Amino acid sequence: MAKINEVEVVQFKFEVQNMGSIDGNKAVYNIGYREGAVSEISKYAIIIKADDGSQGEYVMNWGGTGVSMSQTVALAGNLIGRNPYHREQIYDDFKRELRQHDHMGQGAIDIALWDLAGKSYGASVAQMLGGYRDRIATYASTYHGDHTGGLDSKEAFAEFGQKCYDMGYRAYKIHGWKDGNARVEAQNVLHNRKALPDDMVLMLDPCCEIRTFSDALYVGRACDEANYFWYEDPYRDGGTSAFGHKMLREKLKTPLLQTEFLRGVEPKADFIIAGGTDLLRADPEYDLGITGTMKIAHLAESLGTDVELHACGPAHRACIAAIRNTNYYEMALVGPNCLNAVPPVYTCGYSDQLDAIDADGCVPIPDGPGLGVSYNWDFIRKNQITSQVFN
């Protein structure tokens, strides 16, 4: 049997132009458009090698924080000597190992193991999952609103939404302002519905910035009036109160999309069975990998509802290729005059930038072996911060 004989975790950095803090601190989660600003961002990559010559790789996108990397590093040494094709067993063991943590570092390992298997078998991960789609409809998912000349007004959101529509997007998700002002958010919801074409599907994601349940209800009623496709993680419970969101669902007609901030299939099952959401969120980087994501997709299918994948990346596209009960791919995050702050590390033409869609507003599913992408390791090594090797 094959055995894993080396794992390397590499942290690296890169710069993004016209992006900086939008609320006075330096957290990456709080960056948005700032003309002339330059922000340095760090992400990490993982390489898993086995003694049969197989190798899997993955570069983390939005889940590639330092906190996530520390969990990946904590698990990496436990891979040595294990069969790389025993993904279900590794998933189960590592889920237990991280039971006192949030599991964010487990996804990188599972995704790299799927890449290893696909390359070994000469098949794409999408094909291994039973994928049948070769492309997926995509929505433009904005950066948070700012006060620095980017998405700084309801008119600016509508102007950018029109730009996306003209490019071919037919769905547009608004991340409002960090201020959490319910009146401003509701005005933005209504203005964009009036300003944008009727066939532009609209979603709202306050990202837990609305301060109270009552304000979340107020903004939700604006979503009802404007016929939004979903209303996501509205208020300051952090997206974790099934009871609170059950009350919200009972008072609104707009479907709620929850569970981005719950890790793995079990808590998501508890949340939806308790009545806290209409639709489920999943993310291969956040939810214990491709293995975990497909479990969540099947959970949603068993309950007759949809699962929507959070954020972007080749692992996300591979999963979407095999999930019937999903609607869109999230091009996250985009805005006027700045790039999506994902690592610029692909040598195969793969892209998660605003212009990556085709004329019909879709992105392709990579069909090469493994995840179907190749990485610029010269760039990663040149910008390396740390490297930790286990063997």
pLDDT of residue 15: 96
pLDDT tens column, 30-51: 788 888 999 999 999 999 999 9
Reply yes or no on whether the pLDDT at 150 is more than 80: yes
Rounded CA separation 321/372 (Å)? 13
Reply yes or no on whether the pLDDT at 223 is more than 70: yes
pLDDT of residue 26: 57
Rounded CA separation 45/66 (Å)? 12
Q: What is the mean pLDDT of the chain?
A: 97
pLDDT of residue 20: 87
How, if at all, do strands 135-142 and 171-174 pair?
parallel
Reply yes or no on whether the pLDDT at 166 is more than 70: yes
End-to-end C-alpha distance for the chain, whole angstroms: 17
Amino acid type, 85: Y
Assigned token pair, 281: 């969120």
Q: Which whole number is the average pLDDT over 98-114? A: 98
DSSP class of 145: B
In CATH, 4-123+371-390 is 3.90.78.10: no
Reply yes or no on whether the pLDDT at 264 is more than 90: yes
Q: What are phi and psi of 89, to 5 degrees?
A: -70, -40
Q: Which whole number is the average pLDDT over 75-93? A: 98
How, if at all, do strands 4-21 and 31-50 pair?
antiparallel
Beta bridge partners of 364: 135
pLDDT tens column, 198-216: 999 999 999 999 999 999 9
pLDDT of residue 23: 72
Q: How confident is the model at residue 27 (pLDDT cuts 50, 70, 90)?
A: low
Rounded CA separation 87/67 (Å)? 23
What count of other Cβ atoms lies within 10 Å of the Cβ of residue 30?
15
Q: Which whole number is the average pLDDT over 2-30? A: 86
Nearest CA-CA partner of 172 in 125, 135, 150, 139: 139
Q: What angle do CA 375, 377, 379 make, to 5 degrees?
A: 105
Q: Which whole number is the average pLDDT over 255-272? A: 98
Exposure of 33 by Cβ count < 10 A (0-12 exposed, 13-18 middle, 19+ buried)? buried
Q: Where in the chain is the domain with CATH 3.20.20.120?
A: 128-364
pLDDT of residue 371: 99
Q: Which whole number is the average pLDDT over 233-250? A: 98
CA torsion sign, 104 to 367 to 308 to 175? positive
36: alpha, beta or left, given left = phi > 0 and alpha = psi -120 to 50?
Answer: left
Rounded CA separation 298/307 (Å)? 9
Q: Where in the chain is the domain with CATH 3.30.390.10?
A: 4-123+371-390
Q: How confident is the model at residue 142 (pLDDT cuts 50, 70, 90)?
A: very high
Rounded CA separation 267/102 (Å)? 12
Beta bridge partners of 45: 10, 59
CA torsion sign, 117 to 118 to 122 to 128? positive
User: H or E stretch including 93?
Assistant: helix 87-97
Assigned token pair, 142: 């904005």
In CATH, 128-364 is 3.20.20.120: yes
For 144, 199, 208, 333, 379, the CA distances from 179, given in Å and listed in that order, are: 10, 30, 11, 19, 37
Assigned token pair, 154: 């309801």
**What is the gyration radius of the CA atoms in the chain, in angstroms?**
20
Reply yes or no on whether the pLDDT at 24 is more than 90: no
pLDDT tens column, 378-388: 999 999 999 99
Reply yes or no on whether the pLDDT at 28 is more than 70: no
Amino acid type, 168: G
Q: How confident is the model at residue 25 (pLDDT cuts 50, 70, 90)?
A: low
Reply yes or no on whether the pLDDT at 18 is more than 90: yes
Reply yes or no on whether the pLDDT at 6 is more than 60: yes
Beta bridge partners of 50: 4
